[in-house]
Amino acid sequence: MLITFTTDAYADITLFGDIALTMLKMMGHSATVPGAILAEDVPAALSRLTAAIEAEKGSPPAEDRDADEPVVSMANRALPLIELLSAAAKAKSNVMWK
């Protein structure tokens, strides 16, 4: 499953479902798809996501299931969504996902 985040202030971002649901939970939202964050709630969601990512940086990386593939950190995976949320907060725009 893929989840696409959209806002009028930034290009659409598509993430794998499990990663997107984890990030939604980090932002303090349920794992309900589709969903939305109102413009006035975007800065708080961004703050919670960045705080959760910072807290996770100190923990050891997840065990690599496939030794041939490099491990991609949650911080790297979250960067496009953080940029989308930052643009939405600056433009006071809603964020939706489906």
Give pLDDT tens digits for 15-60.
Answer: 999 999 999 999 998 888 999 999 999 999 999 999 999 988 766 5
**For every residue of 70-97, which 3-state class applies, written as one string?**
CCCCHHHHHHHHHHHHHHHHHHCCCEEE
User: Looking at the domain assignment, is residue 24 inside a domain?
Assistant: yes
Q: Where are the alpha helices (H) located in the chain, listed in sequence order?
A: 17-26, 42-57, 74-91
Q: Give the pLDDT score at 31.
A: 80
CA distances from 54 to 20, 39, 59, 88 (A): 17, 24, 10, 21
State the total domains in the chain.
Answer: 1
* pLDDT higher than threshold 70 for residue 3: yes
User: Looking at the domain assignment, is residue 21 inside a domain?
Assistant: yes
Q: Strand, helix or coil at 41?
A: helix
User: Looking at the domain assignment, is residue 67 inside a domain?
Assistant: no
Q: Give the pLDDT score at 6.
A: 97
User: Looking at the domain assignment, is residue 80 inside a domain?
Assistant: yes
Give pLDDT tens digits for 58-88.
Answer: 665 555 566 677 778 888 899 999 999 999 9
Q: Give the pLDDT score at 57.
A: 77
CA distances from 10 to 88, 92, 94, 98 (A): 7, 12, 11, 16
User: Looking at the domain assignment, is residue 38 inside a domain?
Assistant: yes
User: Looking at the domain assignment, is residue 83 inside a domain?
Assistant: yes
Domain hosting residue 19, numbered range: 2-55+73-97
User: Looking at the domain assignment, is residue 65 inside a domain?
Assistant: no
Q: What is the CA radius of gyration of the chain?
A: 14
User: Looking at the domain assignment, is residue 8 inside a domain?
Assistant: yes
pTM of the model: 0.85
